[in-house]
A and B are shown apart, each in its own frame.
Chain A
Amino acid sequence: MTPVPAHLLAPQGPARSLVARLDPRTRVLAAALFAVVAVAAQGIMAQLAALGVAAGLCLLARLPMRTVLRRLLALEVFMALVLVTLPFTVPGQTLFTLGGLTASAEGMERALSVAAIASAVMLAVQALLASMETVALGHALARLGVPARLATLMLFTLRYVEVLHQEYGRLRLAMRARAFRPRTGWHTWRAYGWLVGMLLVNSVERSERIHAAMRLRGFRGHYPILDLGRAGGLDWGFGAVHTASLALVLAVGMM
C-alpha cells in the first residue's frame, strides 16, 4: 500500500493565495458550478475554454506546477482505455488506418473532448477543494445543506483514515517480520484478507472505545457545525468573475 499522502493530514499550498482566502462555501459552490458547466459545455472549443478556466484557477490557488502535471498524467487505466478506443469506435471520416482498424476524425475529436472535460474538472477540484483542509470541507458541506449525518460521517472517516494507516503499518510490519512476501496465489490473497479482517476488528474495537468516551462527554451523534461567518467582498467578487467566465464558456459552445 502506498502511504496516505501527507496533504490528507495538513493543508497544502501557500496559505496566502487568493483561493486560500476564500470562504470554504464559496470554494465548494464554485467547484460544483464549474463541474456542471464543464460537463454541459458543447463542442471542443467550449471544452478547451473550460480547461483554460481550470488552469486559471490553479494559478490563483498557486498550486505547485509539478504536482498538478503529475496528477494529470497519472491516467487511470479506465481513462486510457476510453482515449485509445474512441478514435476507432466513432464512425466518420477516415483519418488513418492501423492494422485493419480505421481511426476517424470524429473519434479523435471525441477522445480529445473527453480528455478535456475530465482534466478540466480534475484541475478545478485540485485548485478549489483539494487545497482546503478537509475538515473545513466537511463543515462547508454541512452549512450548504448536506445532511448533518453525512457531513459527520465524512469528518469521522477522515479521522479513521489516519487510525487505519497506523494500524496497517503495525500489522504489515508483523507480517514482514515473519518473512511474508506478496505473490500471485491463494496464500497471498488469504493473508491480505486476514490482514484487512484484523484491521477491521481492531479499528472497530478502537472506534467503539473512542465513541464510548465521546458519549460520556455528551456527544450526540453529530459535531457542532462551525459557524463560518458571512461571505465577504472577496467571495462575492470571486463568485462574480467565476460565474462570468463560465457563462463565457457556455457562450463559446453555442457559437
Chain B
Amino acid sequence: MAHIPDGVVTVPVLVAGAVASAGFLGLGLRALTPERMPRVAVLSAVFFVASLIHLPAGPASVHLILNGIMGAVLGWAAFPAILVALLLQAVLFGFGGLVVLGVNAMNMGVPAVLAGLVFRALWRRDRPRRTALLGAACGGGAVALTTVMLSLSLVASGREFLTVAQLVVLTAVPVMVVEAAFTAAALGLVARVKPEMLEEG
C-alpha cells in the first residue's frame, strides 16, 4: 500500500526523497557495525516478507508495514534495513519503482527511526503494560506518519492526486489499528523472552 510506483511523483519530490534518504542512510550506516549486521539483516528480511503476510480485517485483509517494530529493535540501523528490503521488493516482487526508491525509503524509514527513538527513550525492562502501550504507540504511530508523508508526497506532486491521498489515509486506518495490536504483542513477547534485544545499540 505504501509503495509508490515510478511515474507518479514529480521531480522535486523525487529529489527531496533522494536527499533525505541519503542523509538518513549515512547516519544509519554508522549504526550498522559488523557486530550488529546479522540482527539488522534478520529484521530487514522480516520487513521484506511482511508484505506477503495478510491479516484479516473485516471483509478485506491488510498487510503490515512493520516499520514501528523495525525502529524499536534497530534504532538508526532501521533505515538501511528498510532501504535494502525495499530494493529487493522492487526487484523481486515488482513493488514500487527504482527512481522513486528514495521517496519510498524516506516515507517508511523516517517514521521507523523516530518510533525507535521514542521507544528507546521510554522503554523499561520488566514493565509489561508500559511495553504494550509503547509498542502500540510505535506500531500505530509509525504507520500514521508513513501515511501522512505518503499523502504529502502525492499532493506535492499535483492537486490531481488529492483524492488518491484522501483514499490512502482512509484505507490506512484499519492498518494502523491492526499494526498497533500486532506490534504491542510482538514487542511484548520480545521484552519477555529476550529483553536485551531492545536495549543494545
Contacts and interface: CB of A to CB of B under 8 A. Distances in A.
Contacts of B162: 89
Q: What is the size category of the interface that chain A forms with chain B?
A: 35 or more
A239 to B, nearest CB: 18
Contact of B92 (A5, A78, A107, A115): A5
A165 B147 CA distance: 28
Interface of A: 1-2, 4-5, 7-8, 31-32, 35-36, 38-40, 47, 71, 74, 76-79, 81-82, 85-86, 88-90, 107, 110, 113-118, 121-122, 125-126, 129-130, 134, 137, 147, 149-150, 152-154, 156-161, 163-165, 168, 182-184, 186, 188-194, 196-201, 203-205, 207-208, 210-211, 220-222
Contacts of A4: 49, 52
Interface string B24-43: 01000100111101111111
Interface in B60-101: 69, 73, 80-81, 83-85, 87-88, 90-95, 97-99
11 contacts: A39-B99, A71-B94, A89-B160, A89-B162, A121-B7, A122-B94, A161-B49, A163-B45, A190-B185, A193-B181, A194-B189
B-side binding surface: helix, strand, loop or mixed? helix
A217 B1 CA distance: 42
Nearest to A90: B160
B14 interface: yes
Contacts of B56: 182-184, 188
A162 B189 CA distance: 23
A114 B186 contact: no
B53 A198 contact: no
B167 to A, nearest CB: 5
Contacts of A7: 92
A204 B57 contact: no
A4 B57 CA distance: 23
